[in-house]
Structure 1
Amino acid sequence: MKSARQKKIIDLLMRDGFVKTSELQSSLGVSIETIRRDFNQLEKEGILIKTYGGATLAVQQQVYVKPDRDTWQKRMSISVREKTAIALRAIEYIKNGSLLAMDSGTTTYEFAKHLNKHSDITVITNDINITEVILRNGSNQVFLLGGMVTTNGSTNGYLAKQALSSFSQIDMYVFSCDGVTIEDGFTTSSLENNELKRMLAEKALKRIALVDHTKFGKKALFKISGLEHIDVLITDSMAPQGMIDQMREKGILVDVIPVAEEGG
């Protein structure tokens, strides 16, 4: 039977993805040796992996993301504050006259809504909803990749990939994902969209990932990109600090935007 102390460690791991030995020693009022013994026991059980100065949640504890069957409207209502904050920060990375690529998604849609702060932007996308938003600003233009249209308003398939192949190079690719982990990077549950995502990433000079805290520690079936292949990850302050620290240790620029918790 696990002690109350070990249960507390597990709770913190599930919440943050990472715990620091020094912080546990202070909050639990025990010695470092006691914390290390707990780590050893929990590592044997496959719950955590010991790291320098702490421990991280074991890979097998990560949540697997199933294919998304929710409607566009339902997904637009999830993590609204976080998506808005992330989108507004991402806009600051954009320069007038840029050629951008955006794939389909509610976070990238939120980003597109704020592109009217810039002029002479050209956007390549496979999302009809994003296309409509871009067209509201007369100084910006958009190329909609043709192909089979899904119920959520995105295009994919052979025709979309053929259209994308016509472009030689893209200044910046702005994308989101269904999950992100240290081991597997950015993943998606959509095979069709994943092929386009990978092509867009390969053509871009710079890649920016917009990932709210609900995607951290989750893994979907198809890999978009490893962490090492992106330039900036923008997230909100409720993302697990442990994973953020690990990403930064790998040399990744993680831009964390303050967002108060509900009721806070």
Structure 2
Amino acid sequence: MKPDKSARQGKIMAALETSPSLRVAELAQTLGVSTETIRRDLDQMTSAGLLNRTYGGAVRPLHSEPTVAERHTMFVTERQRIARATLPLLRDARVLILGSGSTTVHVAHEIAAKLKDLMVITHSFGVAAALSANPTIKTLLLPGEYHAGEGTLLGGHTIAFLQDLYADCTILGASGLSEEGPTDALPESAAVYSTMAARAARSVVVADHSKFNRLFTARYADWRRIGHLVTDQAPEGAMATQLQLSGTQVVLG
């Protein structure tokens, strides 16, 4: 017997506890209902503040962003494509700044595999570990207070150290993207990202489509400061309009 709506939505909430990202097709198959039924459920649950809709699925609500370890299991294929599409933007760079996050770790793996003779400045342990596979890349790990949930170093020491550095390009992730710009769930992270963007000749944001039209606590830049957005689906609506007006080029992976 198919579960009624209440039971079905309860199962969806239970699934979000173990898998912070859900797909419509997979939910429909698991619960034995049509994809249209699942989409209606997700729309109702979004209106109730229980989750957030994405293209093709749903994620946890804004106040409970997954940890970086959980995010590493989400949208892996999309993030790999984004990382590969980012590499051509870095061909002429000799000094890079990489922010923290699961997508930037994918970028770091691509850099380690395909580029050489670089200096990379980062505050992310995951990024530093990925780069260690390439002995021609010199990694400068920034100082700061360790944030275990993000695997990164943050705070005043991080920002002060960055003020004396300069790079050809900064590559940053984001918790959310909207017409106002990229945002982060942690104000401490946003403060570091803002400084990173200011210390490079150009800045690139790398983020998958699940971040579209999601607004978090702290904006770290407006789109005029971002040269490229590398993503896996073309933005639409107000965000797409603002990207065009700001001169931010969208690169699809």
Whether TM exceeds 0.5 here: the answer is yes
Indicate the RMSD between aligned Cα atoms, in angstroms: 1.9
CA drift at 1:251: 2.9
Match of 2:3 in 1: none
Say yes or no: does 1:91 pair with 2:87: yes
1-side partners of 2:81 and 2:241: how far apart?
21
Report the Cα distance in structure 2 between the residues aligned to 1:177 and 1:76, rounded to whole angstroms.
14
CA distance in 2, matches of 1:72, 1:178: 11
1:141 deviates by 0.7
Look up the match of 2:127: 130
C-alpha distance 214-165 of structure 1, shift in aligned 2 (>3 A): same
**CA 1:188/1:67 → structure 2, altered by over 3 Å: closer, same or farther?**
farther
Aligned letter for 2:232?
D
* Structure 1 residue 241, shift from structure 2 partner: 3.2
Deviation at 1:96, TM superposition (A): 5.5
Partner amino acid for 1:189? A
Partner of 2:168: 171
Counterpart of 1:214? 210
CA contact (8 A) 1:208 1:231 kept: yes
Distance of aligned partners of 1:252 and 1:64 in 2 relative to their CA distance in 1, 3 Å threshold: farther
| Change in CA separation of 1:64 and 1:204 when aligned onto 2, cut-off 3 Å | farther
Aligned pairs (5 A) from 1:102-121: 102-116=98-112, 117-121=114-118
Matches within 5 A, 1:144-223: 144-151=141-148, 152-167=150-165, 169-182=166-179, 184-223=180-219
1:244 equivalent to 2:240? Answer: yes
Equivalent pair of 2:85/2:252 in contact (CA under 8 Å): no
Say whether the 8 Å CA contact 1:67–1:189 is kept in structure 2.
no
The 3 A distance-change label for structure 1 pair 197 and 67 is farther
Deviation at 1:246, TM superposition (A): 4.9
SS at match of 1:92: helix
Distance 1:246 1:254 in 2: 12
Which residue in the other structure is 1:262 paired with?
A: none
For residues 240 and 230 of structure 1, do their structure 2 counterparts lie closer, same or farther at Cα, with a shift above 3 Å needed? closer
Q: With the length of structure 2 as denominator, give the TM-score of the two structures.
A: 0.71
Q: Is the 8 A contact 1:91 1:114 kept in 2?
A: yes
> Aligned partners of 1:198 and 1:205: how far apart in 2?
13
Counterpart-to-counterpart distance in 2, 1:139 and 1:97: 14
Deviation per residue, 1:88-142 (Å, 9 max, x gap): 0001111265100011100000000010201111111000111111121000111
Checking the alignment, whether the CA contact within 8 Å between 1:108 and 1:175 is kept in structure 2 is yes
Structure 1 or 2, whichever has the larger Rg, is 1
Task: Give the partner amino acid of 2:132.
Answer: L
Q: Could you say which residue in structure 2 is the equivalent of 1:18?
A: none
Q: Which residue of 2 aligns with 1:7?
A: none
Q: 1:150–1:250: structure 2 CA closer, same or farther, 3 Å change rule?
A: closer
One-letter code aligned to 2:147:
T
User: 2:236 is aligned with what amino acid?
Assistant: Q
How many Å apart are 1:82 and its aligned residue?
1.0
Preserved CA contact (<8 Å) 1:64 1:219: no
Extract unaligned runs of 5+ from structure 1. Answer: 1-62, 258-264
Q: 54, 62, 66: which one pairs with 1:65?
A: 62
- Name the count of aligned residue pairs: 191
Partner of 2:78: 82
CA 1:249/1:194 → structure 2, altered by over 3 Å: closer, same or farther?
closer
Percent of aligned pairs with the same amino acid: 24
Preserved CA contact (<8 Å) 2:93 2:168: no
With over 3 angstroms needed to count, the CA separation of the structure-2 counterparts of 1:159 and 1:253, relative to structure 1, is same
Taking structure 1 as the reference length, the TM-score comes to 0.68
Structure-2 separation of matches of 1:130 and 1:240: 27
